[in-house]
Amino acid sequence: MSTLTRQLTFAPLFFVIVANVIGTGIFTTSGFVLADVGDGTTMLLCWLVGGLLALGGSLCYAELGAMFPMAGGDYVFVRESFGQRLAFLSGWISLWVGFSAPIAASGIAFGSYLNRGLPPDLRGALSPTALAVVAIAGLTAVHLRGVAFGVRVQGLLSFLKIFVILVFIVAGFAFGEGSFGHFSRPGSPSSVLSGGFATSLIFISFAYSGWNAAAYLGGEVREPGKTYRSRSSWGPRSWSSSISRSTRALSTPFPRQR
């Protein structure tokens, strides 16, 4: 039986979480949330609530990862807590729903956005689905080359993603022609208890999904007790801040359209 090499430190785990969380959800869910809750202040509050839920889950998973430093994440935690049968079911659910569906959704979103930027004569030849398949296959090939190479590529892509989002934030505040008055009206308590707020949390939970990604790498983490507890708060704090600022920057220039 092969043994995984413990070579991952804090930085790779940090970038894994950032790469999993900061993605299509930031740019595709804010419009749905604003339509449901009705104002920018309540929308930001909804993002805050979702971030706190993800932070709580991350802190719990940090302790579980330190207690059970093995590869498998949810499967290992369920197996140690409730037994092999429930862990088996959890593993299959993760395989077919927890991982495959989000990967397909992200791939389709990537293919759709990229297809719109292609020259008109190539849009018909390369469908969003084909572009999604190529992207998923390419990233799979990257990780098949080994952990070290995959970590470098993951770090580079995460850095570029953060850089682009920072550019969006700065450009939105510096060159946007909107008004902060869109966020001046305080959200009413009734809006927080409304069905729209609850529905929006579903979209936001999708956007925050991936906060537990580092738990699946427990068998490859160096000093898992120290490393997991270090990343448990820094990861959620960083991407929560990025999400809230980018959402506000992208929403400020535009009044709500009914």
Q: What percent of the chain has pLDDT over 90?
A: 7
Cβ-Cβ contacts under 8 Å for 55 (sequence gap 6 or more)? 211, 233, 236, 237, 240
Query: pLDDT value at position 256?
Result: 45
CB 231 within 8 A of CB 239: no
Query: pLDDT value at position 185?
Result: 62
138: pLDDT confidence band, cut at 50, 70 and 90? very high
What amino acid is encoded at 213 in this protein?
A: A
DSSP 176: -
Residue 124 has pLDDT above 50, yes or no: yes
**In the chain, what are the domain boundaries?**
10-175+192-250
* Integer Cα distance of 243 and 250 in angstroms: 10
CB 9 within 8 A of CB 227: yes
Q: Maximum distance among all alpha carbons in the chain?
A: 62
Query: pLDDT value at position 140?
Result: 92
Residue 250 has pLDDT above 50, yes or no: no
Mean pLDDT check: name the lowest of 31-45, 59-73, 97-111, 135-149.
Answer: 31-45
Mean pLDDT of the chain: 78
Per-residue pLDDT, averaged over 4-14, amounts to 81
**Beta bridge partner(s), residue 221:** 8
State the pTM of this model.
0.71
Instruction: Please count the CA atoms within 13 angstroms of the CA of 169 that sit on its side-chain side.
Output: 15
